[in-house]
């Protein structure tokens, strides 16, 4: 990525993975399907390609004119797999990180389900906003939606963000409470117990939470919810 993309935060240049080398840039959903089938899952785990493309089109119809901002709050922060022109530290006061996606597959199992992260209504979240040039929106949102809209756990939404350089509106992906994998009624201790025990064919929920906490610390971002959840999980 060019140096100018990191002009507000030059320290991030070595901490954000080059999109050209990211697995998520060009991963093949048919190969993912093979892995899911081999692990006992049906192919209805994800949206058909045509449905995902229709969701992407609906999303783009609602976007503001000009370049596109994308708000990252989880692994997109350090591995966006997007070609961007600018990155800013950004904050939403209306949402927070939440481990509310029931996972009985990748990092959990039927016997020991885990939890994965989402963005849900809450008390605030600091992350990164990436600006995609208008002439790259078509290509970049194709890659982005293949990753974020693979299933119906997320909804694409445009939300206001505060940055040191001014207020912006950005695309992000929030928890879809009409989807049965979203569980929002678990206590912190229940979340911590599930994450501590869960393991699946992609690894453990513990590794996922620890990775998120470590990256947030590296970026100098304090998230009391993530920090509290990590402490409870390690008890």
CA distances from 120 to 62, 68, 157, 204, 209 (A): 20, 22, 11, 22, 17
The closest of 124, 43, 97 to 212, measured between CA atoms, is 97
Q: Phi/psi of residue 142, each to 5°?
A: -60, -50
Is 148 a residue of the active site?
yes
Please tell me whether residue 142 adopts helix, strand or coil conformation: helix
Q: Which of 30, 148, 162, 207 is catalytic?
A: 148
> Are 17 and 78 a contacting pair, CB within 8 Å?
yes
Contact yes or no for 229/209 (Cβ under 8 A): yes
Residues belonging to the active site: 148
């Amino acid at each position: 990525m060019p140096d100018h993309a990191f002009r507000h935060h030059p320290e991030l240049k070595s901490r954000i993975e080059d999109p050209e080398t990211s697995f998520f840039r060009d991963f093949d959903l048919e190969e993912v399907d093979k892995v899911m089938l081999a692990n006992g899952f049906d192919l209805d785990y994800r949206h058909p390609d045509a449905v995902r493309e229709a969701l992407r089109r609906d999303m783009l119809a609602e976007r503001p004119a000009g370049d596109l901002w994308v708000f990252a709050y989880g692994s997109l922060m350090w591995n966006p797999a997007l070609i961007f022109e600018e990155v800013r530290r950004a904050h939403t006061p209306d949402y927070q990180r939440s481990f509310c996606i029931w996972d009985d597959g990748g990092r959990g199992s039927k016997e020991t389900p885990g939890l994965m992260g989402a963005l849900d209504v809450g008390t605030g979240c600091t992350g990164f906003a990436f600006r995609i040039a208008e002439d790259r929106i078509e290509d970049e949102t194709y890659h982005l939606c293949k990753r974020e809209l693979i299933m119906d756990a997320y909804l694409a939404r445009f939300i206001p963000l505060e940055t040191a350089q001014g207020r912006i509106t950005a695309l992000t992906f929030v928890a879809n409470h009409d989807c049965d994998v979203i569980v929002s009624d678990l206590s912190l201790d229940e979340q911590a117990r599930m994450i501590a025990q869960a393991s699946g064919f992609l690894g453990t929920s513990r590794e996922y939470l620890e990775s998120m906490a470590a990256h947030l610390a590296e970026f100098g971002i304090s998230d009391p919810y993530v920090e509290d959840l990590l402490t409870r999980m390690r008890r």
